[in-house]
Amino acid sequence: MSQKKYQKALGLFGLVSLGLGGTIGSGIFVVPGIAAGIAGPSSLIAWVLVAISASCVMISLAWTASKYPSTGAFYSIFSRVFGKRTSVVLVVLYLISAIFGNATIAAGLGQYFAFFGFQYILLIEIMIIILLSLLNLRGVRLSVTAENILTTLKTIPLVIISLLLIPYIQSSNFVPFYPAGPMDFLKVVIIVYWPFTGFEICAIPADETKDQKTIFHSLMIVMAIVIFVYALLNIALIGSVGSDVLSQSSAPIAAASGLIFKNSEKIVAIIGIIAMLSALNAYILGSSRVMHNLSSEYKIPLLRELDEKGIPPATILITAVFSISLLFFSNHFNQLASISVISTLLPYFFICLATYRLFSVPKIKIIAIIGAITTLAILIVSFM
């Protein structure tokens, strides 16, 4: 291990901001339109099913990460149950999902900049990844301070928008409720899982946390807020403007607000950009720490080093390079998000299995089993 150590700079608010930052990002600003276009109002069922699955995974992670806190979270948990080789495979798989997640968020940002009529979208996406990577290189305090601000600026407006849309809800917009076939609905379940991924980021920087007991509480708070915001917003969106309108826009929240509140599209689109900047910042921090943790375990030169600010500069730079490289192969949100979700589900599945093995409390075992079964089912369906 490097002689230099992480700086213990994160409290409960910072961890919650990272969790919300990683979760409430490009997904909620893009996926409602995609889901409504495929399954109509019945897409709401997909949001409920995924919320149950993600909550079980989150609670399993909260228990295990609190009992075995370590930066990177995953290797520390997996290696206690599945051995080193399997643990490495699972951590690498999570890293792949995180890097695809970076590219997905960047692609989502590109859609919103295109909404404003910007050109050279790929260049804009690359520059944003570079700038946020440089921010993370300046230190965890600065990146988390930025995360706190960005998370506040995106979460509160989303709740306000939802509440303002509720009076415009019409029951006719929920009919017919199930216009999609079974396979189309399953596609929606997979794509809807993307907005729920990222909550685990608040459990990753354990060694940078002032009190590691706050990891459990931060995860619980994050999922409670996420479920509340997503449920309120999706009901308000479909009920107020209908599935057809949402499906025709790459920025569905902006489109919905624009139809009801004149000249509000640009304001909502700006909120969307803020949300995705927050998510990308959190993903860069999380993925770089997971890579550093694995590199430290196997004493990989350069990658295991921390600088004087307690930052892993090499892994931050590698994360940025890989994320940018992906954008040259695909800049399509749907493709990138689907790959990120599929490669995330297997680590989620093994988190639940590890929790089942590590705890003897019946309540914990039941929740872990539900999380394992649902994630495995969605994973199998994704290959069908």
Domain ranges of the chain: 12-382
| Nearest one of 57, 131, 87 to 284, comparing CA atoms | 131
Q: Which residues touch 215 (CB under 8 Å, ≥6 apart)?
A: 15, 62, 65, 66, 69, 202, 203, 206, 209
Q: Record the pTM.
A: 0.87
So what's the pLDDT on residue 53?
92
So what's the pLDDT on residue 367?
95
So what's the pLDDT on residue 133?
95
Q: To which H or E segment does residue 251 belong?
A: none
| Nearest one of 227, 217, 194 to 59, comparing CA atoms | 217
So what's the pLDDT on residue 362?
92
What does each of the 384 residues of the chain score in pLDDT, given as a tens digit? 445 777 787 888 989 998 998 898 777 888 898 888 888 888 899 999 999 999 999 999 888 888 877 766 788 888 888 888 898 999 999 999 999 989 988 988 888 888 788 888 899 999 999 999 999 998 888 888 999 999 999 899 999 989 999 998 998 888 877 766 677 778 888 888 888 988 888 888 888 888 777 888 899 999 999 999 999 999 999 998 888 888 887 778 887 887 777 778 788 888 889 989 999 999 999 899 999 888 888 888 888 888 888 889 999 999 999 999 999 988 887 788 888 888 888 899 999 999 999 998 899 999 999 999 999 988 887 776
So what's the pLDDT on residue 131?
95
So what's the pLDDT on residue 2?
43
Class of domain 12-382: mainly alpha
Give the three-state DSSP class for 198. coil
- Whether residue 79 contacts residue 216, with contact meaning beta carbons closer than 8 Å, is answered with no
Q: How many alpha carbons lie under 13 Å from residue 232 in its C-beta half-sphere?
A: 19
Please tell me the distance from the alpha carbon of residue 92 to that of residue 112, in angstroms, as a whole number: 31
- Whether residue 144 contacts residue 310, with contact meaning beta carbons closer than 8 Å, is answered with no
